[in-house]
């Protein structure tokens, strides 16, 4: 157990408390991503199938009210699919800001140490700068991964929107054929 905790403790000491905040943000982002994946695989497909069956069971498919109802049902289903997307985007936006906060607080510590020890300690200054840039690196890395996930998820939702409308139209054609 000590072998697992020791590297984490050293990393937190090297990056400061802001690195812990970035790690927690990354965990929340990862948890939201896993939740969306599970929702997509388990609940969404069943709800989509029920929507298609409900649309097929209707007798009227061509009137304005029927098309409006179909659009409402589709948007309701897709809204449930998009529900955590604003939170993911918020967390992606927060990560670089947390990294910048870590850099600023780290540089304040470097300048504070320089004022106490004097300008002759180049080694302590370089260690402090390295410590100050670690949160920036972590914040940007987490943000890039989160950005890749959110852009892919938005693409999947847009594609699913088109496929849902196509499936509903095809379901009516198959029923009348």
Backbone angles phi, psi at 59, to 5 degrees: -90, -35
The angle, 0 to 180 degrees and rounded to 10, between the axes of the packed helices 122-176 and 64-81 is 150
pLDDT in tens, the chain (177 residues): 778 888 878 877 777 888 889 999 999 999 999 999 899 888 999 999 999 999 988 888 888 998 899 999 999 999 998 988 999 999 999 999 999 998 888 888 778 777 777 666 666 677 777 778 888 999 999 999 999 999 999 999 999 999 999 998 887 777 665
Q: What is the pLDDT of residue 172?
A: 77
36: nearest Cα among 110, 73, 91: 91
- The total domain count for the chain is 1
Residue-level pLDDT at 176? 63
Q: Output the pTM of the full model.
A: 0.81
Print the domain residue range for 76: 1-174
Q: What is the pLDDT of residue 46?
A: 93
HSE-CB for 26 with a 13 A CA cutoff: 18
């Amino acid at each position: 157990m000590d072998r697992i905790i020791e590297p984490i403790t050293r990393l937190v000491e090297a990056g400061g408390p802001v690195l812990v905040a970035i790690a927690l943000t990354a965990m929340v982002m990862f948890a939201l991503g896993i939740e969306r994946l599970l929702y997509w695989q388990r609940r969404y497909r069943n709800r989509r199938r029920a929507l298609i069956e409900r649309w097929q069971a209707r007798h009227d498919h061509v009137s304005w009210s029927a098309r409006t109802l179909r659009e409402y049902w589709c948007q309701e289903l897709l809204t449930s699919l998009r529900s955590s997307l604003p939170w993911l985007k918020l967390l992606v936006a927060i990560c670089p800001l947390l990294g910048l906060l870590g850099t600023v607080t780290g540089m304040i510590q470097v300048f504070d140490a320089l004022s106490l020890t004097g300008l002759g300690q180049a080694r302590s200054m370089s260690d402090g700068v390295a410590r100050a840039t670690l949160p920036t690196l972590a914040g940007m890395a987490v943000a890039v991964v989160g950005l890749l996930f959110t852009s892919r998820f938005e693409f999947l939702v847009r594609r699913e929107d088109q496929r849902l409308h196509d499936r509903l139209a095809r379901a009516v054609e198959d029923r009348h054929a």
